[in-house]
Structure 1
Amino acid sequence: MLADARHVMPDSLKFRGDATFFNAALDRADLIVHGRNSHEGQPNSPRRKRIVLTRTIEQLAGDPSNPNATLWNPAGVPFEAACEAAGVTSGTIAIIGGPIVFGMFMERYDAFYLSQAPHVHLPDGEACFPGVPERTPQEVLAAHGLRASEPQMLDPEFGVSVTEWRR
């Protein structure tokens, strides 16, 4: 699960090592893509180019609250057009969720970084991918042609790790 039943990431899922890894990855990205409920909420956030998925518009629009954000309705225009509208036509794109957004890109990932906090349980929480909890996140990633590397420990005190899954 990546959030609680209210679609909010609770403090019990926030770990220093994971946040450091996540922030560094976003600092290297040329574009961030996420749903309207997701946001990394960091000091650099407003400066990052982003595409926000939403059904509240027909195609594309600028975000009136953030000049670096482009609002995109995937039913209205292709992803490549959204990238062009955001001013990014090459480079690294970081998809930060939620589950519908992650699911949309399953066939396009070059790499996906799956963080796990094994001692945190969120009954009735929001699953990370479509098809979870019927299948594990690892089974979903493998079914889409991604293969796991060795996990990297991010926070040994809490057993939090990240595994890179590559095509």
Structure 2
Amino acid sequence: MSFRFEGYVIVSADGMLADASHVMPDSLKFEGDKLFFEQALDRAGLIVHGRHSHEGQPNSSKRKRLILTRRSKALTVDPEVPNATLWNPAHASFEEACAFADVTSGTVAIIGGPDVFDMFMDRYDTFWLSEAPRVRLPGGEGCFVGVPARTPHEVLAAHGMTRGSPFVLDAAHDVTVTPWRRAG
């Protein structure tokens, strides 16, 4: 198996990916970021996320995905989501889940939540961190395990990632995306 691992998240100024009720609020949704995200997922061979993460885009049902769950032990096809495999990492390896889903190569897009991001933290080739500096979500859900005690930048750097140059996604709201790449 030959994979390239990429992570994707948009965060508020305080490092949150969702509000206190674990929902991504409209205040954290921007057309430029949405387009960047959608185009990236269209290129990916596999999407990986938890039960509460999803992208809700026109091509979503066409994308192969692994949905992490603690509810089942065996790898199984999700009866509710087209092209999805339910995967419990405590009972099957990532490679076993990929084989079950019939995915052997390509880009793997990790789209959250925090525990899912954390599982792949030492495997990312690139982590695309979108930031909305004018949005604050007090008491929200941090994008990574350890946020807000540490910033998203500190978490990525602690895992050997180096910050690249940011790209503007929405100039009116100062929304950018920065590639964080594995050093060396």
TM-score range for the pair, normalised by the shorter chain length: over 0.9
Q: Which runs of 4+ in 1 moved over 6 A?
A: none
Number of the residue aligned with 1:98: 113
Q: How many residues were matched structurally? A: 167
How far did 1:7 drift?
A: 1.1
**Root-mean-square deviation over aligned CA pairs:** 0.6
How far did 1:59 drift?
A: 2.8
Q: Does 1:117 align with 2:112?
A: no
How far did 1:66 drift?
A: 2.4
Number of the residue aligned with 1:54: 69
Number of the residue aligned with 2:22: 7
How far did 1:67 drift?
A: 3.5
For normalisation by structure 2, the TM-score amounts to 0.90
For normalisation by structure 1, the TM-score amounts to 0.99
Instruction: Give the unaligned 5+ runs of structure 2.
Output: 1-15
Q: Is the contact between residue 59 and residue 74 of structure 1 (CA under 8 Å) also seen in structure 2?
A: no
Higher share of residues assigned strand? 2
Q: Does 1:146 align with 2:161?
A: yes
Q: Separation in 1 of the partners of 2:143 and 2:104?
A: 27
The amino acid that maps onto 1:150 is: S
1:76-132 Cα offsets, whole Å, 9 max, x none, are: 010110111111011100000000000110000000000000000000101000011
Q: Separation in 2 of the partners of 1:117 and 1:67?
A: 31
The amino acid that maps onto 1:108 is: R
Instruction: Give the unaligned 5+ runs of structure 1.
Output: none
Q: Could you say which structure has the greater relative contact order, defined with CA pairs below 8 angstroms and 6 or more residues apart?
A: 2
Q: Does 1:78 align with 2:127?
A: no
The amino acid that maps onto 1:12 is: S
Q: Separation in 1 of the partners of 2:132 and 2:23?
A: 16
Percentage identity across paired residues of the two chains: 68
Q: Separation in 1 of the partners of 2:148 and 2:34?
A: 24
Q: Separation in 1 of the partners of 2:111 and 2:68?
A: 11
1:17-72 Cα offsets, whole Å, 9 max, x none, are: 00010000000000000000000001100110000000010131110112300000
Select the residue among 75, 82, 85 that pairs with 1:67. Answer: 82
Select the residue among 19, 27, 41 that pairs with 2:42. Answer: 27
Select the residue among 126, 129, 133 that pairs with 2:141. Answer: 126
The amino acid that maps onto 1:157 is: A
The amino acid that maps onto 1:130 is: V
